[in-house]
Structure 1
Amino acid sequence: MVMLPPDNHVHSQFSWDTRSNGSMDLTCAKAVELGLPAIAFTEHVDFTAWGEGDVPPSADTSIVFRDRVRPFDVEGYQASVAECRDKYPDLRILTGIETGEPHLFAGSVAAVLASGTFDRVLGSLHSIVHEGRVLSPERVFTLRLMPPEDLMRRYFESMLDLIKGSDVFQVLAHCDFPRRYWPERAAPYDEAMFEEEYRVVFRALATSGRALEINTRSPLWSVDLMRWWYEEGGEAVSFGSDAHVPYRVGAQFDLAADVVEAAGFRPGRDRFDFWRR
C-alpha cells in the first residue's frame, strides 16, 4: 500500500469562498485521521481592483463579478496556523497562498508575499480577459459568450502567459480549471481534443522547473494526460484536494496516486516531498 502524499492545496476559513464551512482546526483533524503526512493551507489571494505594480492588459480592463472577494487576513491566518501546529504536532502544517492571475496582479501579489512567510505558493488562473473584462470561465459559460471549445483554447493561451509572466509560484494548480464547469449542453469534455494545448503548457512549465498539480476536486485526470506531463519533461507532481470543507481533505488521493504512478512518477525523497519521475 502506497503512503498517501501531502495535500498541498487546502482552504480554511481564511479563504473568501469557504464562507462558514471552512475550519483549519477540523481540516487538520481530518488529515490526521487519514494519515496524511502534511497539509498546506493555500488560501485564496484574489483582487477586486488594480494595485501598484499590477500589469493589466490595458488601461481600461475592468475586474467584474467579484463582489464576494475579501482581502486575505494574513495576521489572523498565521495565528491560526500557530495554534494548529501546537495542537497537531505530528502533522506538518505548511503555510501558503493560491495566487489568482499572478502575472496580471504582480504588484498586489508581491505585497501579500511580503506580509508573511509562506511555504507553498500556488499559481492559478481563475479568469480570462474577454472584451476588456476579467471574467471567470464559469461566467463565460453561463453568459454563453463563446463556444466552450474556444474558451478552453483561450484559457490555455492565458495559462501560457501566466507561466511565462510570473515566477512567484512553485506549483501550477488545476491547469484546466474551466473543465470543472463544463456546460451540460456541450459535448462531453475530451482531453484528447486539447492534447497539443496541454502539451504546450506542460512544456513551458517543465522548462521553468516547477511542479504540476493533480487536482482531485476537478474531474480526475487520465493516465494519458499525466503521461503528457511526463513526456514533456515534467519532473514533479503535487497532489491537491482543493478542499474548501474539512471532510474533503485528501479526497480521491488513493485514485490520484494510482494515476500518477501509472504515468511514471514515484514518491519523492521523503514522505513530505512531491512525487517525482
Structure 2
Amino acid sequence: MKFDLHTHHYRCGHADGDIRDYIEAAIKEGLSVIGISDHMPHLFSPLDHPAPSITMSRLELGAYIDEVLQLKKEYAGKIDVLLGIESDYFIDHERPYREAIERYPFDYVIGSVHVSSGKSIFDRNRWAGIPAEQMIEAKKEYYRLIEASARSGMFQILGHIDAMKGYYPAFVDIPADDAIDSALRTIGESGLAIEVNTSGGTKLCGGWYPSDAVLERALHYGVSISFGSDAHKPSRVGEDFDAVANKLRDIGFKEWIYVKERKPVPVPL
C-alpha cells in the first residue's frame, strides 16, 4: 500500500492548491492513505500571523482542522485521510506547541527544525565565509535540536533531518558523526520515526532527505521510517514513493510506517 504523510496547501502562504486538491491527487496516484500536514502557526508570537509566507495564521488553525475532519468523512471508503500537522520545534517555546498538540485530535505531528543558531536552515548565505570549526558547531547544534525534539515527546515523526543540505550540498561533508549518532540513538530509543522526504530533489542538493548514509545509521539504531513528499503542489503527492521503497529494501529495512491516532501502523516493504 502507498501513503504520503507530508503535504501542504494554500494556508501556509507558500504552497498551491487546497486540501481537496491533494486528496484527489493522492487518489489519482493510487495512495491508500494521505496525510494533511500544513505548517503549525508560530504559537510563541503574540501576533496572529507573524510569518504569513511560512505558516498558517493562528486564527486559521481551527478551520484547518475542521476542514480536514470533514474531508476525512467525505472520502471514507475511497482513501484514508489523516489529520496531521508539521510543527516547528523551538527548544525555548515548547509549552504553547505542546498545549496545541494535546488540544486537537491530530493523527500525527511531524516535528521539524527549521531554525538553528538563530537562522533558517534554508538560508543560502549562512555558510558564507564561516571557518570550518564554526561549520562543525553549526551542524552539531542542528542535530542537538533534533535530538531535543525527539526527547520532547510531542512528535511521532521527525521531518527532513538533514534538510540543512538543501541549499548547501557540502553540508553532508561537514564532520559531525557523533551528533548525528546521538540524535539517531535517541530517536530510536524514543520509538519515533524519521521521514524520507523527497522534496530534497527540488533543492540544490538534488536528493532526498536524509542521505543514504543517515538511513543506514538509522537502521543500526532501530529508527522507524515513514514517507513524505513534502508536497507544496498537488502534482508532487506520492513523488518517488516506489523508488524510496526500493532504496530502503536495499539498505536492509523490512517495513516502514504511517501513523494514525498517534500510533504507528507498519507497512511491509
| CA deviation after TM superposition for structure 1 residue 45, in Å | 1.3
- Trace 1:169-248 onto structure 2 (pairs within 5 A): 169-182=155-168, 188-190=170-172, 193-218=175-200, 219-220=207-208, 221-234=210-223, 236-248=224-236
- Contact 2:139 / 2:174 at 8 angstroms: preserved in 1? no
Q: Check if 1:24 corresponds to 2:11.
A: no
1:13 pairs with one of 10, 13, 32? 10
Once residues 77 and 46 of structure 1 are traced to their aligned partners in structure 2, the CA distance between those partners, rounded to angstroms, is: 11
| CA deviation after TM superposition for structure 1 residue 10, in Å | 1.2
- Contact 2:38 / 2:84 at 8 angstroms: preserved in 1? yes
Partner of 2:204: none
Partner of 2:249: 261
- Contact 1:215 / 1:242 at 8 angstroms: preserved in 2? yes
Once residues 162 and 86 of structure 1 are traced to their aligned partners in structure 2, the CA distance between those partners, rounded to angstroms, is: 32
Partner of 1:59: none
- Contact 2:8 / 2:36 at 8 angstroms: preserved in 1? yes
Partner of 1:76: 63
Q: Deviations over 1:238-266 (max 9, x none)?
A: 10111111111111111111111122222
Structure 1: stretches of 5+ with no match in the other structure? 52-64
Query: Using a 3 Å threshold, how does the CA distance of structure 1 residues 168 and 47 change in structure 2: closer, same or farther?
Result: same
- Contact 2:43 / 2:96 at 8 angstroms: preserved in 1? no
1:121 pairs with one of 102, 106, 109? 109
| CA deviation after TM superposition for structure 1 residue 49, in Å | 4.2
Q: Check if 1:96 corresponds to 2:75.
A: no
The amino acid that maps onto 1:135 is K
Equivalences, count: 249
1:153 pairs with one of 140, 143, 156? 140
Partner of 1:44: 39
Query: Using a 3 Å threshold, how does the CA distance of structure 1 residues 22 and 197 change in structure 2: closer, same or farther?
Result: farther
- Contact 1:217 / 1:243 at 8 angstroms: preserved in 2? yes
- Contact 1:12 / 1:22 at 8 angstroms: preserved in 2? yes
Structure 2: stretches of 5+ with no match in the other structure? 201-206
- Contact 1:224 / 1:263 at 8 angstroms: preserved in 2? no
Q: Deviations over 1:148-191 (max 9, x none)?
A: 84332331222223223x111011111112111216xxxx4436
Once residues 22 and 183 of structure 2 are traced to their aligned partners in structure 1, the CA distance between those partners, rounded to angstroms, is: 32
| CA deviation after TM superposition for structure 1 residue 85, in Å | 2.6
Once residues 247 and 20 of structure 2 are traced to their aligned partners in structure 1, the CA distance between those partners, rounded to angstroms, is: 30
The amino acid that maps onto 1:40 is G
Matched position secondary structure for 1:141 = coil
TM-score (structure 1 length as normaliser): 0.78
How large is the Cα RMSD of the aligned pairs?
3.0
Once residues 168 and 195 of structure 1 are traced to their aligned partners in structure 2, the CA distance between those partners, rounded to angstroms, is: 25
- Contact 2:39 / 2:56 at 8 angstroms: preserved in 1? no
TM-score (structure 2 length as normaliser): 0.80
Query: Using a 3 Å threshold, how does the CA distance of structure 1 residues 35 and 179 change in structure 2: closer, same or farther?
Result: same
Query: Using a 3 Å threshold, how does the CA distance of structure 1 residues 271 and 71 change in structure 2: closer, same or farther?
Result: closer
Q: Percent identity, aligned pairs only?
A: 24
Query: Using a 3 Å threshold, how does the CA distance of structure 1 residues 270 and 122 change in structure 2: closer, same or farther?
Result: closer
Q: Check if 1:33 corresponds to 2:28.
A: yes
